[in-house]
Amino acid sequence: MESAFPTAARLGLHVLLYSSLLLNALFLAHHFLSAPPAPSPLLSEADNGGGGGALSWALRAARDAESVAAAGCSGHGRVFLDGIVGQDGRPGCECNTCFEGPDCSVRTPDCTVDADSGDPMFLEPYWMQHAEASAVVVSGWHRMSYRTTDGLFQSVADDKQIVFATGSMQLINALVYALSPDSNSGSTASVVATTPYYPAYRTQIVLFDSREYRWAGNTSMWAKASGNSTTKEDVIEFVTSPNNPDAVLHQPVVGGSSAILDHAYFWPHFTHIPAPSNEDVMLFTTSKLSGHASSRFGWALIRDEKVAKRVNNYILQNTMGTSRDTQLRMLSVFKAILANLHGKEDIFAFGHDVMTAKWRKLGAVVSRSRRISLQNIPPQYCTYFDKIREPSPAYAWVKCEREEDSDCSDVLLKAKIITRSGVWNDASSRYTRISLIKSQDDFDLLLERITEFVDAELTAAGSNSM
């Protein structure tokens, strides 16, 4: 395959030298089950704060950042450096859903709660508490060059290659491309996933519509369709573990396929970790690890060097790698995470506490209902925490139990709760997904609405039985 960038190979050496972020990411992705790592030289240097003199060029930016951060927004919003302009011409509060007013202090009356998107805002308080460790100053001349930005991979421990990407979204199609037959072979790979699955697998494959692969539906449909066929077929199976939307840990089900293990949620704040994952092709994202969804940073661990090269070539052609600004920020985020692993400021312990509390509260309300139910997740032993842990899924996978409630998301929408219908996951509309990883405000309002919904059901049942 030809490349538009004949210099790529020559950049290899430089990239090999640049390894802190790569190694940290890999460590997190792959080895977080072990004891806390020894602090790296960079970490201890950062803790010491560098030189102690007065600031010069960075002072203005530091003051601006602290100035906007100081705005309270009543605890229901925040001010951003690049945010909306308030009534006084200065950056203004951006309020959480269902809050309004210049300082976000007003509850929007009769507001519809949004529990739709997988926006990982539950970790925002963690980063506010670790402001000093995670802040980073980007100078105007920081790494302007393409060099070292183009996501070249390197050999690492366990004989895996790592490839950076613009979020795990970019990796979906990049990995399918890399695992598909060569364009000269004339054959077409079938891409499948097990219901209920993350819809972007399907929508990406359909949208990009490559001649080398096609969307072949969910695994059971595919098995039925190909059952009597004797043709040897290339199959690429997406295996989301734990699964979005229902949090089940999955293994590949199609024998002999190329499996892509989507480990976006394979972190101790969402699931027990039975053992380190060691599959041939795995993808990860900071969105669900540190909560930095908007940074668009993902990575793949790939055993086969040829596959990794194809992924890398795809990323180069698609976006010339991933933003170096983001890589700098992620380095400070990862360093802060690593410095606190297994300590009292462990991000996973923080996240697990938040998510367990949400699941417990939601479960207590829904258990009173016979109209809706949640998936059942037993407590399980987790190798990271070295104990039995309470469930803490990212999403509630809600089933509407009444025959007439065949459109469950519509049922909840009438109760002023926006959820994501199971139809998106190629599942029945009797199911719908409630996001639990949004902000505490979002959850508190959700719990209010769900409580109203269940109370109304019980009141109605009570009057019926009278």
Subset of 93-122 contacting a copy of itself (CB under 8 A) = 94, 114, 116-121
Total residues contacting a copy of itself by CB under 8 A comes to 128
Answer for which of 13, 35, 38, 57 binds a copy of itself (CB under 8 A) is 57
Residues 253-312 that bind a copy of itself (CB under 8 A): 287, 291-297
Tokens 């100035």 sit on residue: 67
| Residues 457, 409: Cα–Cα separation, whole Å | 16
Contact 84, 94 (CB under 8 A): yes
Nearest to a copy of itself of 60, 360 (CB atom): 60
Distance of CA 322 to the CA centre of its chain: 17
Q: Is 182 in the site for a copy of itself (CB under 8 A)?
A: no
Based on CB atoms, which residue is closest to a copy of itself, 100 or 389?
Answer: 100
Nearer to a copy of itself, 5 or 385 (CB): 5
Instruction: Report the SS3 class of residue 248.
Output: coil
Helix 324-340 vs helix 41-48: angle between axes, to the nearest 10 degrees? 90
Q: Which of residues 401-440 bind a copy of itself (CB under 8 A)?
A: 418, 420, 424
**Judged by CB, which is closer to a copy of itself: 189, or 365?**
189
Pinpoint the alpha helices (H) of 255-393.
286-289, 305-319, 324-340, 347-366
Does residue 87 interact with a copy of itself by CB under 8 A? no
- Phi, psi of 54, deg, nearest 5: -70, 150
Identify which of residues 49 and 462 has a Cβ nearer to a copy of itself in the complex.
49
Span interacting with a copy of itself, options 125-133, 246-254, 256-264, 457-465, rule CB under 8 A: 125-133
Name the minimum Å distance from CB 119 to a copy of itself. Answer: 5
Give residue for tokens 């109304």.
456
Helices (H), 296-344: 305-319, 324-340
Task: Locate 458 and state its tokens.
Answer: 């019980």
Per-residue binder mask for a copy of itself (CB under 8 A), 208-227, x = binder: xxxxx---------------
Query: Which range, of 18-26, 189-197, 352-360, 389-397, touches a copy of itself by CB under 8 A?
Result: 18-26
Residues 302-361, interacting with a copy of itself (CB under 8 A): 313-314, 317-329, 331-333, 336
Least Å distance between CB 395 and a copy of itself? 14
How far is residue 74's CA from residue 71's CA, in Å, rounded to a whole number?
9
Euclidean distance between CA atoms 38 and 339, whole angstroms: 9
- Compute the least distance from the CB of residue 44 to a copy of itself, in Å: 9
SS3 of 156, please? strand
Sheet holding 281-285, edge to edge: 155-156, 160-165, 298-302, 281-285, 258-262, 235-240, 189-193, 213-218
The span from the CA of 283 to the CA of 263, in Å, is 6
Residue partners of 358: CB distance under 8 A and separation at least 6? 122, 392, 436, 443
Tell me how far, at minimum, the Cβ of 420 lies from a copy of itself, in Å. 7
Q: What is the smallest separation between the CB atom of 323 and a copy of itself, expressed in angstroms?
A: 4
CB nearer a copy of itself, residue 135 or residue 357: 135
- In this complex, which beta carbon is closest to a copy of itself, that of residue 14 or of residue 107? 14
Q: Which of residues 37-56 bind a copy of itself (CB under 8 A)?
A: 41-42, 45-46, 49-52, 55-56
Give dist(CA 163, CA 298) in Å, integer. 9
Please report whether residue 81 would count as binding a copy of itself according to CB under 8 A: yes
Distance CA 337, CA 334 (A): 5
Which tokens is 338 given? 């690593």
- Closest separation between CB of residue 230 and a copy of itself, Å? 27
Q: Is 207 in the site for a copy of itself (CB under 8 A)?
A: yes
Nearer to a copy of itself, 194 or 435 (CB): 435
Based on CB atoms, which residue is closest to a copy of itself, 33 or 156? 156
Is 39 or 363 the residue whose CB approaches a copy of itself more closely? Answer: 39
The reply on whether position 381 binds a copy of itself by CB under 8 A is no
Least separation in angstroms between residue 25's CB and a copy of itself is 12
* Contact track, a copy of itself, 135-164, x by CB under 8 A: xxxxxxxxxxxxxxx---------------
Minimum distance from residue 445 beta carbon to a copy of itself (Å)? 16
| Widest pairwise Cα distance in the chain | 81
Q: How far apart are CA 144 and CA 113, in angstroms?
A: 42
- Altogether, the residues listed in the chain come to a count of 466
Dihedral over Cα of 191, 194, 196, 198: its sign: negative
Least separation, in Å, of the C-beta of 56 and a copy of itself?
6
Candidates 9, 75, 90, 379; binder of a copy of itself (CB under 8 A) is 90
Among 167, 196, 252, 422, binds a copy of itself (CB under 8 A): 167
Cα–Cα distance measured from residue 219 to residue 202, given in angstroms and rounded to the nearest whole number: 12
